[in-house]
Amino acid sequence: MTVMTSSRPETGAASDLRGHVVIITGAGQGIGRAFAKAFAAAGAVPVIAEMHAARGEAVAREITESGGEAIACAVDVADAGSVERLLAEAMERKGRVDTLINNAAIFSTLAMRPFEQIPLEEWEAVMRVNVTGTFLCARAVAAPMRLAKRGRIINISSSTVSMGRPNYLHYVTSKAAVVGMTRSMARELGPDGVTVNAILPSATFTEVERATVTPEQRVAIAATQCIPRSQTPQDLVGAALFLASDASAFVTGQAIAVDGGATHR
């Protein structure tokens, strides 16, 4: 009997991310900020890709003042030239990109409304950032990852895709597109050792104000979950660290709900 072997490194449950370079879009606040701090604590170098430069620089300072290393880069993920400049800076400064976390999205500023009342301009803005931005960033990192024969792309979708949540049709549609993109991209990049997965959070409460969610709604959201408490960014950190590591080397094309069981069947 012929036994096929693999050239991949032997890994156990433990994951070593020391020295890894992780581009995290929208990392100037909220979930992205939590990811940046967690990866830095694990020894990685987060590239804080943020449209609002001051926010990105503030997070980078938080990390460096805690003894970690971080790079802040201003970027508009919906602009191809801006994304290419982001990649060029990361490669110039660190010479590698191990992981991309496509976290930037338009959501907290959206008002809940029936889909017939969504202005076309708002619809197009959501698609440009949430879908096109994810595509552009993944396209940019694909070349260096293919060359390295290793890479991790982690797309942040939403458990609203499974719920069919009303009054956010543009957001839910954009996040459904991210799941489809994840599955197709995994097929294309898998032969080069690059995995592509999606994390689907439930309503995650951060320091970012959400005027459309009342305290009563927050309680109601938690009540739909198997774990009946509000979700925080820290609840997503473990899944992101796992998917960025060699421990997940054979996991790709997956849409992983990290939502306290809100979409449990």
Strand pairing class (99-102; 194-201): unpaired
Length of the chain: 265
Strand pairing class (151-156; 99-102): parallel
Say whether 171 is catalytic: yes
> CB under 8 Å to 7, separation ≥6 — which residues?
none
> CB under 8 Å to 212, separation ≥6 — which residues?
110, 111, 112
68 HSE (CA, 13 A, CB side): 25
Q: Which two tokens stand for residue 186?
A: 């995994």
Hey, which bits of 174-228 come out as E strands?
194-201
Say which of 103, 105, 171, 175 is annotated catalytic.
Answer: 171
Biggest alpha carbon distance in the chain? 65
Spacing of C-alpha 133 from chain mean position: 12
Spacing of C-alpha 200 from chain mean position: 10
**From its phi and psi, is residue 146 left (phi > 0), alpha (psi between -120 and 50) or beta?**
alpha
Q: DSSP character for 259?
A: S
- Residue positions annotated with a catalytic role: 171
